[in-house]
Every structure is written in C-alpha cells, then in structure tokens.
Amino acid sequence: MAPLEAPHAAPETGRPCFADLPGWTQDDLAAALDAYRQNPPGPLSEIARAASDAKALFEALFRPGSTIPGRFTGYYEPELSGARAPSDAFSVPIHAMPSGPVTAPRAEIEPLLAGHEIAWLRDEVDRFFLQVQGSGRIQFEDGETLRVGFAGRNGHPYRSIGKLLVERGVFDADIDAEALKAWLRADPERGRAVMAENPSYVMFDALDLPPGAGPMGTLCPLSGGRSLAVDPEQLPLGTPVWVETQGIARLCVAQDTGAAIRGPGRADLFFGTGDAAGRAAGRLNHPGRFTPLLPR
C-alpha cells in the first residue's frame, strides 16, 4: 500500500484544520488508531487495519468538522465480588433479559424477574452502579470471572440520582461516585429509596470475551481512554472525535451509547476496567468541546 499523504486543506469558513486542534501532534494517535480498528468492517476501517502511520492515516482520510461545545462525563467497567448462588454475603441478584417485556419500575421489578438471575452481588449499591456503567466483571471466590454486558432495560427513563441529590442540597456540584456510594450505604433504607427514584432498570447478558478484550459497546469492543458514548442521533457511531476537556486532549472514537447521553455536545468517555479507571471516570464531569472528523 502506498504511503498516505494528507491533501492540502482548502479554506473552509468556520471549520478548523488539524493544526487548529490543540495537542494533535502530541497525542498518541497509534492508540486512537487501535480503537478505530475495533469498528465493524467497512471501507475506512479496512484501510485503517492496513495502515502503519496513524497520523498520516487520519489526516488523509478525514478533515476536522465544526467544533461543538459540550459536557463530558466518564464511565468504566467495574470489577465486583459476587457469587453464582445467593447467600448472606451475596444476596442481591442481577438479571438476564426475559423473553417478554417487563415494564415495571425499579422499585417493583425484582419479583417479576425471578428465575432470570445471572449472579449475586453484595448489595444494591453494587448493582445500581453496575447498571449505570452497563458492563462489568464479577469475580467469584473460586477465582473465576464472569463478564456481563448490557442486554436491555425496562423502558423507564434514566434519572441521575447524583443530580437529584445536588438539587436537594445534599451534595454540591462536585459530587463524585465514591462519595455517592458511601452516602447510599450509610443508611441502606434511605439509599434504596433514593435509588428507586431512578425507575430505569438494566438487565445483562453473560459474555464470553477474550481476557484482554474491552467490554462490548453498542458498536464494538471498547478501548480504555479512547472510546466515547454519544447520542447517535447527533453523531454517527464509528466517527473519530477530537476531545478537549479538563486536561484531556486526545482523539477518541464514538463507539457506544447511554441512557443519559442525549443531545448535542454530550459525551461519556470510557476509562477502562477496575478501581483506578472508576476513580478517574468519577472525577470527569466538566465542560469541554469536541471536533468530529469527517470523511474526505
């Protein structure tokens, strides 16, 4: 394959060029290319699979579109202790999607899902946050790990309980996930009542994934630090996106969706797997801007 060369950019009013993207030449574009190669087969992804120069590839195949202001949050794949059968230590089930529709809200749904249990977790806070993240790794006491991913939901709208508690003056706007978990666990009855105010309930599939693979997103397996959840009505899945927010300037790829990710300028950055990724994801809730890369 001949070396890729970026064509000279024609002047386009209101549209940046690659030199206008702060940090473009410093970013690890090879990592972005690895994430882009996870996209399903297509003309551009096939070219990407054969390319060796990430910067030349992106500059040859794409041009920066209009920059969009927005807000970024983070998410991750949690690792949770669990069990295959219920016990005093692991008493809260996660569920598979039933064959027929189940439309009861969170506070009423569990009896309707009897017989569809996949595994049991320590408490309702672990289940709630697993459902918010949409995927996870459940570690059993015998050393085995079960990967689970989003299968569907009960059809009720997602409501952020963090935002709810900020509105009620319980927390300030800088609340993070760890503080919220601690507050919910401090008074379990109070915690259950607040979690029930988010009527959405997520069900899971047990997944057979290679050990080094990221969790499945809506489009393809996700890459830590490089995959974005977006509103597909605003931005097509598979699109490379230049992200700038709170010390982050890097090329990501739109590969996932989320119930809370709606509207223009809204994106969720996937940070990877485990506690460190969770802490980093929980700290990201900031304004920023992103620039989609459009095919030439």
Query: In the numeric block, which tokens belong to residue 120?
Result: 């049991």
Buried b (16+ CB within 10 A) or exposed e, 33-52: bebbbbbeeeeeeeebeebe
3-state secondary structure of 50: helix
C-alpha 213/C-alpha 223 separation (Å) is 8
Q: How confident is the model at residue 211 (pLDDT cuts 50, 70, 90)?
A: confident
Domains of the chain, earliest start first: 22-74+214-295 (2.40.40.10), 77-207 (2.40.240.50)
**What are the tens digits of pLDDT across the range 156-170?**
999 999 999 999 999
Tens digits of per-residue pLDDT, 134-143? Answer: 999 999 999 9
Please tell me the predicted confidence (pLDDT) of residue 181.
95
| Strand ranges of the sheet holding 92-95, from the earlier edge strand across to the other edge | 92-95, 117-121, 79-83, 135-139, 145-153, 202-207
